């Protein structure tokens, strides 16, 4: 599996900066991940969408460039029917002192053979930050994230 192209391993740091980074969102109906401002009606992602779990070393994302090179749709990033996909600019992690590292074909995921895994990468450096900084990064990513795939109704 490792070495199959195209994959995120083919991308340089500059390629990631020009890319769109795709993040799987567990649900748009769960208020933990997607909230509605009751005054304005604006819908927004919450910082929970961009927080690391305690056992993670980096924030799991997918390269839109590689997804497209593989002729996959953005829906391929989803594992469950109620998942959604958000996008953040690839220039955002370096702007915050972070880096995006290729991590194609991770074996510790459900469906490790799924073609989407060729596009897998990790935003690294978050664990080295203090808790308030980690929270700020998650909030910043949530604030700029754009919904690029919604689950079917």
In the chain, domain spans: 8-149
pLDDT score of 147 more than 70: yes
pTM passes above 0.85: yes
Specify burial of residue 73 (Cβ count, 10 A radius: 0-12, 13-18, 19+).
exposed
Q: Which residue has the tokens 């080295």?
A: 128
Helical ranges in the chain per DSSP H? 13-18, 64-69, 92-95, 131-144
Give residue-wise pLDDT tens across range 57-107: 999 999 999 999 999 999 999 999 999 999 999 999 999 999 999 999 998
Give the pLDDT confidence score for residue 2 in this predicted structure. Answer: 47
Contact 148, 87 (CB under 8 A): yes
Distance CA 153, CA 35 (A): 18
Q: What does the block give as tokens for 143?
A: 């604030």
Q: Which of 35-39, 52-56, 86-90, 106-110 has the lowest mean pLDDT?
A: 35-39
Q: pLDDT band for 1, please (50, 70, 90 cuts).
A: very low
Q: Mean per-residue pLDDT for 136-149?
A: 97
């Amino acid at each position: 599996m490792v070495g199959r192209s195209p994959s995120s391993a083919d991308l340089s740091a500059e390629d990631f900066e020009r890319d769109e980074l795709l993040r799987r969102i567990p649900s748009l109906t769960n208020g933990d991940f997607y909230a509605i401002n009751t005054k304005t009606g604006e819908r927004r992602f919450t910082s929970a969408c961009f927080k690391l779990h305690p056992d993670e070393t980096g924030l799991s994302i997918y390269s839109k460039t590689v997804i497209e090179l593989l002729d996959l749709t953005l829906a391929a990033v989803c594992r469950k029917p109620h998942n959604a996909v958000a996008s953040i600019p690839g220039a955002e992690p370096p702007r915050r002192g972070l880096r995006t590292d290729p991590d194609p074909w991770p074996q510790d995921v459900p469906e490790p053979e799924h073609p989407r895994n060729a596009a897998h990468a990790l935003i690294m450096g978050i664990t080295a930050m203090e808790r308030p900084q980690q929270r700020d990064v998650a909030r910043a990513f949530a604030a700029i994230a754009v919904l690029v795939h919604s689950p079917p109704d």
